[in-house]
């Protein structure tokens, strides 16, 4: 019996009880220790607002007075991020191709569906009422994903043939995998590239061939990985070298002010209603793409190099339509 089972059972016992129920009896019915019973009661009081009262005369628990007669467990216990995480896991499991992990993940899938069903969020109704849309997801070859994931977890080196889009060339790389990253509906590998002697990110769908090597991967401390991949904007991170200063129109400002582009961003409303956003970056490729999607509602104020690049992209786009 898990936490959810015990909460539902305790609620039913207290709801139907005419007199306070002794703690030892609740422990027996809930199949738990005294410490576990105390934690469940405190959680129900603190997080679910349950009016559970302790009666010293009976040395037991009951719902308090009139309030207890009208109390009902909340139908939904998740906050937005928890619900998103749970439904994302469910969707990933639903869409997963048959593979070696089927028998291991089946119990997890069943457990998630059971949790949703208990809270009035049965799998069928959830799919109908809540949607998580994947945008521009790219397909990764199953065998390469399994090898990469296995190497990450087993701390083994990888030998890959990687097709880089920018140079449109295939290179052979020996990698020490560090982290597998799911970013904007696509998979990336953060790794130490032995050819470049540096940390790099690799899009998994660009791997043309892969082989797990017997040698142990070089281990990079988490602090160094976080500093490299988390300090600048986008998946092409690296150390930030510049700060982009963007100013959004008053109409767009109402949306941008609530968005989080980067953990270290700085934003402020201007007197004319525009919103100024400052973002650290090292590689401008992804940042430029995100700037361009806002069209005339954003102006790049600084640095000058980024301003010129965005302006040239916009002029090139306009030339397509001039004829």
Confirm whether 178 is domain-assigned: yes
Mean pLDDT of 281-294: 92
pTM over 0.85: no
Question: In a 3-state reduction of DSSP, which class is residue 306?
Answer: helix
Domain that holds residue 258: 242-322
Same domain, 219 and 187: yes
Give the chain's mean pLDDT.
84
> Residue 119's pLDDT band (boundaries 50, 70, 90)?
low
Provide the Cα torsion 90, 96, 99, 104; round to 10°. 0
Residue 258 lies in a domain: yes
The reported pLDDT for the residue numbered 183 is 85
pLDDT computed for residue 145 by the predictor: 85
Instruction: Decide if 235 is inside a domain.
Output: no
103 domain-assigned: yes
Quick one: CA torsion of 224, 229, 230, 233, rounded to 10 degrees?
150
Of residues 149 and 297, more confidently modeled: 297
The pLDDT score that the predictor gives to residue 177 is 95
Residue 65 pLDDT greater than 80, yes or no = no
In a shared domain, residues 118 and 162: no
Instruction: Using alpha carbons, list the distances in angstroms from residue 92 to 78, 84, 98, 124, 216.
Output: 19, 12, 12, 15, 30
Task: Take residue 214 and report the two structure tokens written for it.
Answer: 């017997």
Q: Residue 58 pLDDT more than 80?
A: yes
Last residue of a domain, which of 47, 70, 93? 70
Mean pLDDT of the 31-37 span: 92
Whether 246 and 318 map to the same domain: the answer is yes
Q: Say yes or no: 149 and 215 in one domain.
A: yes
Q: Are both 49 and 90 inside the same structural domain? A: no
- Domain contains 233: no
Q: 2 phi and psi, to 5 degrees?
A: -105, -175
The tokens 């129920």 sit on which residue? Answer: 21
* The predicted structure's pLDDT at residue 115: 61
pLDDT tens-place string over residues 180-194: 888 887 889 999 999
pLDDT tens sequence across 160-184: 999 988 888 999 999 999 998 888 8
Overall size of the chain counted in residues:
323
Domains held by the chain: number: 4
What pLDDT is recorded for position 87? Answer: 64
Average pLDDT rounded to a whole number, residues 287-301:
95
What pLDDT was estimated at residue 227?
84
Does 22 fall in a domain?
A: yes
**Which has the higher per-residue pLDDT, 153 or 310?**
310
Q: Output the pLDDT for position 278.
A: 96
We report the CATH number of the domain holding residue 50 as 1.10.10.10
Segment 215-273, tens digit of pLDDT: 999 999 999 998 888 777 777 667 788 999 999 999 999 899 999 898 889 999 999 99
> Is residue 143 very low, low, confident or very high in pLDDT (cuts 50, 70, 90)?
confident
> Per-residue pLDDT averaged across 272-296, rounded?
93
Q: What is the CA radius of gyration of the chain?
A: 27
Whether residue 234 is contained in a domain is answered as no
Least confident of 59-73, 90-104, 205-219, 307-321: 90-104
- pLDDT digits over 99-117, tens only? 545 566 666 666 666 666 6
Q: What is the structure's pLDDT at 210?
A: 93
Look at the alpha carbons of 280, 285, 286, 288 in this order and tell me if their dihedral is positive or negative. positive
More confident residue, 20 or 97: 20
Any domain includes 190: yes
- Spell out the residues 6+ positions from residue 193 whose beta carbon is closer than 8 angstroms to its own: 173, 174, 175, 199, 200
């Amino acid at each position: 019996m898990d936490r959810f089972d015990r909460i539902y059972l305790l609620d039913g016992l207290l709801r139907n009880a005419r007199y306070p129920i002794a703690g030892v009896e609740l422990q027996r019915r809930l199949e738990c220790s005294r410490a576990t019973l105390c934690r469940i009661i405190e959680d129900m009081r603190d997080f679910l607002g349950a009016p559970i009262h302790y009666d010293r005369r009976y040395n037991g628990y009951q719902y308090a007075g009139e309030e207890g007669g009208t109390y009902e467990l909340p139908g939904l216990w998740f906050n937005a991020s928890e619900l998103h995480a749970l439904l994302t896991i469910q969707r990933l499991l639903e869409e997963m191709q048959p593979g070696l992990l089927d028998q291991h993940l089946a119990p997890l899938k069943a457990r998630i569906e059971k949790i949703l069903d208990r809270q009035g969020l049965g799998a069928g109704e959830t799919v109908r009422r809540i949607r998580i849309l994947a945008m521009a997801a790219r397909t990764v070859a199953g065998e390469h994903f399994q090898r990469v994931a296995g190497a990450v977890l087993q701390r083994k080196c990888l030998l890959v043939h990687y097709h880089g889009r920018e140079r449109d060339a295939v290179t052979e790389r020996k990698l020490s995998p560090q982290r597998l990253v799911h970013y904007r509906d696509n998979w990336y590998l953060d790794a130490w590239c032995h050819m470049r002697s540096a940390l790099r990110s690799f899009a998994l769908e660009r791997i043309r061939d892969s082989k797990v090597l017997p040698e142990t991967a070089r281990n990079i401390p988490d602090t160094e990985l976080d500093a490299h991949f988390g300090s600048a904007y986008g998946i092409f991170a690296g150390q930030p070298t510049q700060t982009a200063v963007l100013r959004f129109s008053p109409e767009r400002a109402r949306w941008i002010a609530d968005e989080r582009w980067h953990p270290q961003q700085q934003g402020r409303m201007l007197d004319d209603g525009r919103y100024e956003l400052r973002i650290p970056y090292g590689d401008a490729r992804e940042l430029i793409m995100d700037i361009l999607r806002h069209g005339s509602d954003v102006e790049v104020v600084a640095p000058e190099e980024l301003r010129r690049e965005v302006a040239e992209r916009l002029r090139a786009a306009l030339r397509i339509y001039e004829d």
